């Protein structure tokens, strides 16, 4: 897909798309970030030292759409890894609702403790999509996120999540949904290309069942607990392809 196609498609409809966007923000329920602890241990009854998992991203990492972080992507991914590796996983969520990659860099990413972890999950892109940030800017910002976390946390593996299926978000009316879906696809492709140039960075497409509305929270925009579970399964399977890197001698289940 041509990286400027979304802009070319949007330009003739720009006044209408802006009006649609404003109306959508007005009528879409604003769900809070998840409550409860932002860190924990999954599979605590398993033996051995915990695998260290850090999740960094926008609203899904902040737990918007679910009640607790254990139900969100951080806790769900930790549980999926613990079940497969038969090893406890200590997880920590660092997310902020509404943050683009650049905004995250300028706020909370540089405050993440400088200590080693085994796996980092990075999940950005929806807010860069809705901001219609250019693909080149998105790539630069995402690359800086990768470099900053590499310096601070020395992860053995980075899971770079693909963007969600924005073209199927129930909260977005047409033609806004179509245009935003195009933009998300361009940014998703740019993320995949960036990951291919970096060692120990694994791009994981977010290929969820777009026909199952139970995957979405009540706002039709964020993932539900079921959606986070399915997402975590995809990420855990991708991580297991690198199991000897993240934990030598690991036992797969």
With beta carbons less than 8 A apart as the criterion, state whether 204 and 159 touch.
yes
Quick check: is 251 in a domain? Answer: no
CATH code (residue 90): 3.40.50.1110
Instruction: Say what the pTM is.
Output: 0.93
CA 166 to chain centre: 13
Length of the chain: 253
Taking only the tens place, the pLDDT of each residue in 92-136 is 999 999 999 999 999 999 889 999 999 999 999 999 999 999 999
Taking only the tens place, the pLDDT of each residue in 46-102 is 678 899 999 999 999 999 999 999 999 999 999 999 999 989 999 999 999 999 999
Quick check: is 28 in a domain? Answer: no
Confidence at 209, pLDDT banded by 50, 70, 90 = confident
Quick check: is 32 in a domain? Answer: no
Taking only the tens place, the pLDDT of each residue in 211-227 is 899 999 999 999 999 99
Quick check: is 124 in a domain? Answer: yes
What are 112's two structure tokens? 């993440």
Counted domains in the chain: 1
Beta-bridge partners for 204:
161
Beta-bridge partners for 57:
95, 123
Quick check: is 100 in a domain? Answer: yes
Quick check: is 183 in a domain? Answer: yes
CA distances from 161 to 3, 8, 90, 249 (A): 19, 27, 20, 26
Range of the domain at 48: 5-14+38-241
Quick check: is 19 in a domain? Answer: no
Handedness of CA 152, 240, 81, 222 (dihedral sign): positive
Quick check: is 246 in a domain? Answer: no
């Amino acid at each position: 897909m041509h990286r400027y196609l979304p802009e070319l498609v949007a330009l003739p409809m720009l006044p209408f798309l802006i009006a649609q966007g404003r109306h959508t923000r007005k009528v879409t329920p604003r769900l809070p970030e998840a409550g409860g602890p932002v860190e924990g241990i999954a599979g605590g009854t398993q033996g051995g030292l915990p695998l260290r998992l850090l999740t960094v991203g926008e609203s899904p990492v902040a737990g918007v759409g679910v009640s607790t972080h254990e139900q969100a992507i951080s806790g769900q991914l930790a549980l999926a890894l613990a079940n497969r590796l038969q090893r406890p996983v200590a997880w920590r969520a660092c997310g902020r609702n509404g943050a683009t990659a650049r905004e995250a860099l300028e706020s909370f990413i540089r405050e993440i403790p400088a200590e080693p972890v085994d796996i980092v999950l990075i999940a950005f892109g929806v807010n860069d999509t809705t901001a219609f940030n250019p693909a080149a800017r998105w790539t630069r910002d995402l690359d800086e996120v990768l470099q900053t976390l590499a310096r601070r946390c020395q992860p053995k593996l980075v899971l770079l999540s693909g963007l969600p299926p924005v073209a199927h978000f129930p909260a977005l009316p047409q033609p806004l949904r179509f245009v935003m879906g195009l933009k998300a696809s361009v940014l998703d492709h740019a993320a995949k290309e960036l990951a291919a140039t970096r060692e120990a960075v694994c791009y994981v497409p977010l290929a969820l069942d777009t026909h199952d509305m139970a995957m979405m929270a009540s706002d039709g925009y964020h993932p539900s607990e079921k959606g986070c579970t399915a997402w975590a399964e995809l990420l855990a399977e991708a991580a297991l392809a690198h199991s000897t890197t993240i934990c030598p001698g690991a036992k797969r289940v």
